[in-house]
Structure formats: C-alpha cells, structure tokens
Amino acid sequence: MPIARAFSGSHEGAMPFAAVTLEPPRPQTKGIEIGTSPTTRRGNYLDIYKGIADGTFPAGGEIISTGGRGEGKTTAVKNLTIGHLAYQAISPLGEIEEMRAFIDNRKQQGQDVGEGVVGEWGGVVEELGCDILDVTKLQLELLDPKNMPPADQLKWMVSVARLANRKNLKPDQRLVIAIALEQLQRTTGNEYGFRTLEAMLRRLNAEDIHEFHARLDAALVERFTDETEDSVTRKAMNELLNLEYVADCQPLIKAARQVSRLYQLVLKGMFGSMYAGRTTITEHLRKSAVMFDFTFMEPEEYEFFEVLRFQAMTSALKAGDTSLVPHLMVREEIQEAITNPVLLESWALWSATQRSRHQLTLSTTQYLTNLFAGAARLETRGHVTAILNGINCLVLFKQPIDEEVYNFLQGRGLSDQYIRSIPKLPLGVAIIKFDGHEGFYNQFHVPPAMRHLIKSRGTARRMAYGRKPVTQDPRILSLS
C-alpha cells in the first residue's frame, strides 16, 4: 500500500486532466479540496489513500453517499473519484503505481462518447480515457477455470444456477455441479467452459455417479485414517466401504437434468448472446480504467453480472492476485441490489475481503433506509449486517431519518445534533463520518472548470453557481 502520494505529472496519457508540473512526493500537500466548512468557510481537504497509509483512516472498505434526488450525492462521489484519481500511488519501493478504477454507469444521459452513448459519467470517462464496455455485448464465458481454483469454480457455478432458479438450490443440485466439475477437471485439465459443464450435466449417468462415489471413498480413507496399514480405523473404514451396495442414482441424475435446464435458460433464454463464450470477465477486470455501461440492462441482468464480478475479484484477491482488483470502484444506485440474496452474499464476502487490498468502493443510494430493506428477511439479514459493518465512511445528504437509521448512526458514533440536522441540510451540504473520527459538515464544491466533467441532472451546475476556482486545486491547474 502506498506510503506517500504524488501528482500524476508523468502520466498525462492515463490521467490527462491531472497532469501538473509538481515534483513527487509533496508531503505538504493536504490532499483533494472537496469543499468548505459551512461554518468556518475554510477548505476541507481529503486524501483517503494517504490516510490509510498513515493509519488515519480504516484500511479499505466502502464509502456510501446517500441522499434524496438532486441533493448532490452522485456529484459528491464524482468529486471524490476525480480528485483521488488525479493522484498516483507511490509504493514503498518508490515506484509510481497507476490508480486503477472501475466505474459503473446506470443512468442514461444521452452524451456521445466514442461510438456509444454513456450516462452521467461521460465527461469523467472522456478525461480518464476509460474503456467503455457495454456489458450486454461482452459475450462472456461464464466459467474461467484458468483463473479460478476448483472450490471457487463450484461456488461460482452454484451462484449462476441460484440466480437462474431465483431461489436456493437443493443439496442434490449442488452435489451434481460438484460431480460434473470434477469429471471435467479429471478429463480435460482446465480446457473447459460453461457449455461443456452444461453438456456434462445433461449426460451425467449412473456410471459417472458410481465413479464419483469411489473417488470420494478413497479420499475419505486417506483423509480420516492413519497411514499405517494396520490402523484399526483404516481397517474398519475399508470394511465398511467394501460392503456391497447399490447407490440410488436416479435422484442425482434428475438433479443434473434440472441444473442443466437452468444453465440452458441462461444461455438461450435469460441473457442469450451476453454469455456467448468469446471473452472472460477476468480479462476485462485487468484493464487500467473501465466504465461498465449498464444503461440498457434490466435489473436481473445487472445483478447477474455483479455477482460474477464480485466473485471473480474475491477469488483473485484470496489467491494473492491483485491484477483484477481496482484501487477504486464506483457503484451507482446500490439499493437495487438489496433484494437479491445471491448478490448480497457475494457483495458481503467481497466487502470483508477487499480491506486486505486497501481497495475502496464508492457507492450511491437514495436513502440510508434502503440499506436496511434486506435485513428484514432472515435469509439476507446476515449479509446486510456484514455489508453495513464494511462501511467505513458515510456521506449523508438531506434525507429522512427513522428510528432504525437513527440507532445505526448513533452506533457509528454520530452525535444527536448531527443526526437531527440531516433532514434539514441545504443543497450540496453533507455530513462526512469516518469510523473512529468525528463527523464534519462539508459544502461540496464543483469548480467551474470541472463542470463539463460532472453532469448530474443539474445538481452540479447549481452547486457550482457563483463559485470561484481554487487556484491550488491540481484539477483547476490542469484544466485551465
């Protein structure tokens, strides 16, 4: 993780809007000016990654920006994103490491960038030189065995079946996925994919199931008995396993056909050409700056992709591969994810894992109450709790506060005075609360020179009205 920060003067191609002529590192640099204090009129500065490096802020986690429509929550996230991408991270070895970012676009705006139509992030994407990926046209391969260990493959493919099934799988259905994957691993190495797995399930027969049971028996003997041949436990287990029996394979064969039909539904019905097997999700996640365009996707299509991306990044991070993991990820309108238990489970696991990379996720949701919707169901309550525990910073714009939200904010250390002021906050003003720190008011700025980057349904223009550029801001220097 970086121990210092520097402006990206040598990275004009990657961050053209941030190219300035300052020599790295600059210890006296306060960070990004995110706005002013409404009470003192002094500037508020923030450099989250430097704060992580010196222990000021918690490592990794999620920053949630919440508020009513038009209050400035998306503009604030863009301010933080642009500002932090304007810096480069300096590793402990003194080498400059490019800040990698994933940006999710959910809203239509009608601004042409290149050949596509992107939403509110159009200006930012242009300046960053992001690859714009229309997720509906990626033609992804759903199973990527070259970049995922067997245990994670099984979890991945169970999730695909659960999403298609819209409910949890039965034990037999989970087991046949494991049997088919093991058969493929034994017979093809890692040269297989989603279609091969579906075909294996469709053709699974009694012989395959008996063979699986034989391998399972051998594995049990090896795992749970001593190595010596005269072991009492080994002899007893061998005698038990050598007893003649006829396994009832029909339930498993039936389950295999059921899962096969769920996979066929994904391939031919639900998403069709979205998963045509031409590219893998991992190759898209390795790019330096990517905007995933979800503008024309149905909610279930978006949720499906989110599950795959969370699981791919989590699997890579557990294996020590940081090439799939960005420094910064921006997710919009996350309240839509709260109703999907598979997505919540994947999100919760990622939330717990991302801190080891010091990765930051910036998310927006209309009201904080949206985040508690999933906690009402027993099936998803634990996942929602894990996600809420993973939030290390709240950016709270004007919004209603009910008893549940009040108790949550009080538990996070926000004072009664701050909490009661939230429904009365003026436009563009938010309370920022980091774990372990006092909350503070911030009037977010949108400097006029940045207005063309930020298009948030008029909010950015209103927040920028009458403001003068801050000459010390690297973004202003580079754009003027």
**Cis status, amide bond into 150, omega within 30 of 0:** no
- Cα angle vertex 247, ends 242, 251, to 5°? 155
Q: What is the predicted pLDDT for the residue at 24?
A: 34
Rounded Cα distance, 327 and 103, in Å: 11
Helix (H/G/I), strand (E/B), else coil: 91? coil
What spatial distance separates the first Cα and last Cα of the chain, rounded to whole Å? 32
DSSP 2-26: -SEEEE-TT-TTT-GGG----PSP-
Which residue shows structure tokens 């005698």?
Answer: 239
- How many other C-beta atoms lie within 10 A of the C-beta of residue 373? 14
Q: How far apart are CA 12 and CA 18, in angstroms?
A: 7
Classified as helix, coil or strand, 56 is: coil
Q: Give φ, ψ of 440 to 5 degrees.
A: -150, 150
Distance (Å, rounded) from C-alpha 236 to C-alpha 5? 64
Q: How big is the CA angle at 428 (ends 427 and 433), to the nearest 5 degrees?
A: 120
Bridge-based pairing of strands 440-444 and 429-434 is antiparallel
Nearest partner of 461 among 473, 447, 474, 471, judged by Cα: 447
452 contacts: CB under 8 Å, gap ≥ 6: 123
* Strand bridging mode 328-331 / 101-105: parallel
- CA diameter of the chain: 88
| Local structure of residue 218 (DSSP, 8 states) | H
Q: Cα–Cα–Cα angle for 19, 22, 28, nearest 5°?
A: 125
Question: Could you give the C-alpha distances from 32 to 9, 87, 351, 391, 475, in angstroms and in order?
Answer: 16, 9, 25, 21, 9
Tell me the three state secondary structure of residue 337: helix
Cβ 94 vs Cβ 88: under 8 Å: no
Parts of the chain with a pLDDT under 70: 1-32, 49-50, 52-60, 86-99, 107-120, 127-128, 224-230, 241-247, 269-270, 272, 356-358, 373-378, 446-480
Count of CB atoms within 10 A of residue 466's CB? 5
**Which residues is 434 bridged to in the sheet?**
393
Residues 17/83, Cβ–Cβ less than 8 Å = no
Q: Which two tokens stand for residue 137?
A: 């046209």
H or E element, residue 45: strand 43-46
Extract the runs of DSSP E, i.e. beta strands, from 272-408.
279-280, 289-293, 328-331, 360-365, 391-396
All structural domains of the chain with their residue ranges: 4-137+280-479, 141-270
Level-2 CATH architecture, domain 4-137+280-479: 3-Layer(aba) Sandwich (3.40)
Are 41 and 107 in contact by the 8 Å Cβ rule? The answer is no
| Cβ atoms within 10 Å of 403's Cβ, excluding its own | 7
